[in-house]
Chains A and B, each alone.
Chain A
Amino acid sequence: MIDSAVPRGPEQLDLGGPTISSPPGPLRRAFGHFENVHKAFKRSGQVPLVAIDTVSFDLQTGQFISLLGPSGCGKTTFLRIAAGLIPKTSGIVEINGAEVERPQPDFGMVFQQPNLMPWRTVLKNVLFPVEIQGDADGGAAQRAAELLSLVGLSGFEHAYPAQLSGGMQQRVALCRALVHQPKLLLMDEPFGALDELTRMEMQDLLLNVRAKTGATVMLVTHSISEAVYLSDRVAVFSPRPARIADVIAVDLSYPRRPETRYAPEFTELEHRAGRALGITR
């Protein structure tokens, strides 16, 4: 068990509602609380470009939520606001009880590109976050080794990124995002640059890592099947300016396997997402 702080496995997840540890009272908010988030980019000499009109939803501890939407709809912008990388124009972005206004050391982030440092070995790349933030409990090296073995990269600790395939590099990036035991894992189309087979392999790997670590995840994707396969909930974004078109509770049981993709419930959920996106009727 890599993170014992989150004792619940994904099987016991409740989709919404107060958690057992929540104190009573109406003011207690969910782990992630997004309310009327609005983002407009200033443009010189023109009216501001509204990327996000208004987006509201809640994210529970241990939950896996996907932000699904067409390209350029503002879902990546939303993720970057949640990460504290760019400021919102208005609204509430509250994670773990605090307003997010700048990057948070206890977030982990996986980008579209692996963004590995070519001069660092695999292990040193994974340890980069603890090197920046200090190894609080001294267990980082062991966690890094465990994570690498979890994603099937044992034996590659001392290889350089250039020696790895794209899928392997993205697995290293996933380990790096988890090594400092983040409270929230943010993923921005992490498998978008991979081929279809590698992508499916990575999705199973992510499900496995998430089951082992109990991480709370927010993932941006434009793949309907990816969103349904991985998530507890799918927030479907409308085309720009982004609004929430639908929030779909995915009640498929865990563990999910490649066969899950062919289950009737899976197809039904895909249809619902497709309808929310305006692709199917």
Chain B
Amino acid sequence: MTAQNLARSLYPLLGVMVILTLWQLYTSLSGISPLVLPSPIEIASVCIERYDLLLQQTWPTFVETVLGFALALVIGIPLAVFVANSRLFNLVLYPILVATQSIPKVAIAPIILVWFGLGISSKLALAFLVAFFPIVVDTAAGLQATPPGLLELAHALCASRRQVFVKVQMPAALPFIFAGSKVAITLAVIGAVIGEFVGSVTGLGNLVLAANSQLDGPLAWAALVWLSVLGILLFAAVALVEWLMMPWERAGQH
């Protein structure tokens, strides 16, 4: 990391420090109840003290999110291939996809709960539903945005349809697929938490609700902090896979 990069990442850190300091000052000077707004120090100490509970509750949320996301990839990418390559699929399926996407996922969460029960499958289904759309849309856009020059080159070399797909279209779509996946993984966390809110006995979302109802403000906030850390780590994991799979993107420019 160069000195310039280091300096650049110090600026947001500085901003966070200022906000936390003001927050800390406000809570200690105003005497506001910790149920309404706990101080950053209180939240941090709960994050550490109740480490066992928080980690234990993170696991189900993590599993729901990752499985929902994985399912969205497994179903979304092949569907995008059909949408991108078949005019019929594009005409029939795409408007339906867009229409279903306009339904607020929070509103169908109770129905999903009725269908799949209180266990993991209802959360997984919700995580899948929110993660699915950006993956399909971005993958289809990527497949359709294959540079025409590369398609003509493959055509001139008598490449088969399968070769064109595997060697040209898919690699060309990779940046799009990862862009969609990065949006999808953060949405998948939200989907899992919505599922936990509507009906669950485990998970960080459930912990936020439970702590709130027990008037334990600091614990609810600590669960929120863990949730956002989970989201950031999952996003970083997808970004890492992208970094590993696309070495040409980080090759220095001429």
Contacts and interface: CB of A to CB of B under 8 A. Distances in A.
Contacts, number: 64
A115 B171 CA distance: 14
Given A115-B147, A117-B150, A164 B254 contact: yes
Contacts of B172: 117, 119
A162 B167 contact: no
A164 B251 CA distance: 11
A255 interface: no
Nearest to A83: B156
Given A117-B168, A162-B253, A163-B254, A132 B150 contact: no
Q: Chain B at the A interface: mostly helix, strand, loop or mixed?
A: helix
A111 B149 contact: yes
B158 A103 contact: yes
Nearest to A85: B156
A118 interface: yes
Contacts of A129: 157
Q: Chain A at the B interface: mostly helix, strand, loop or mixed?
A: loop
A111 B152 contact: yes
B196 to A, nearest CB: 39
A52 B155 CA distance: 23
B36 interface: no
Nearest to B150: A115
Contact of A103 (B157, B167, B171, B174): B157
Given A111-B149, A118-B248, A119-B248, A128 B157 contact: yes
A280 interface: no
A109 B158 contact: no
A159 B247 CA distance: 11
Given A115-B150, A117-B150, A162 B251 contact: yes
Interface string A102-118: 11110101010101011
B171 A133 contact: no
A99 interface: no
Contacts of B252: 163
A132 B252 CA distance: 29
B174 A132 contact: no
A129 B167 CA distance: 11
A115 B251 contact: no
A133 B158 contact: yes
A199 B174 CA distance: 34
Interface in B140-186: 147, 149-150, 152-159, 163, 167-168, 171-172, 174
A160 interface: yes
Given A119-B171, A132-B167, A159-B251, A113 B158 contact: no
B156 A117 contact: no
A115 B153 contact: yes
A109 B248 contact: no
Contacts of B157: 103, 105, 128-129, 132-133
A201 interface: no
B98 interface: no
A107 B156 contact: yes
A43 B163 CA distance: 32
A115 B149 contact: yes
Contacts of B152: 85, 111, 115
A132 B251 contact: no
B251 A103 contact: no
B158 A105 contact: yes
A102 B246 CA distance: 34
Contacts of A162: 248, 251, 253-254
A154 B230 CA distance: 47
A119 B167 CA distance: 10
A253 interface: no
Contacts of A160: 247-248, 251
Given A115-B149, A160-B248, A165 B158 contact: no
A14 interface: no
Given A85-B152, A109-B156, A117-B172, 10 more contacts: A102-B158, A109-B153, A115-B152, A115-B153, A119-B171, A119-B246, A133-B158, A162-B251, A163-B251, A163-B252
- Closest A-B pairs by Cβ, 8 of them: A115-B149, A160-B251, A160-B248, A119-B171, A105-B158, A132-B159, A109-B156, A132-B157
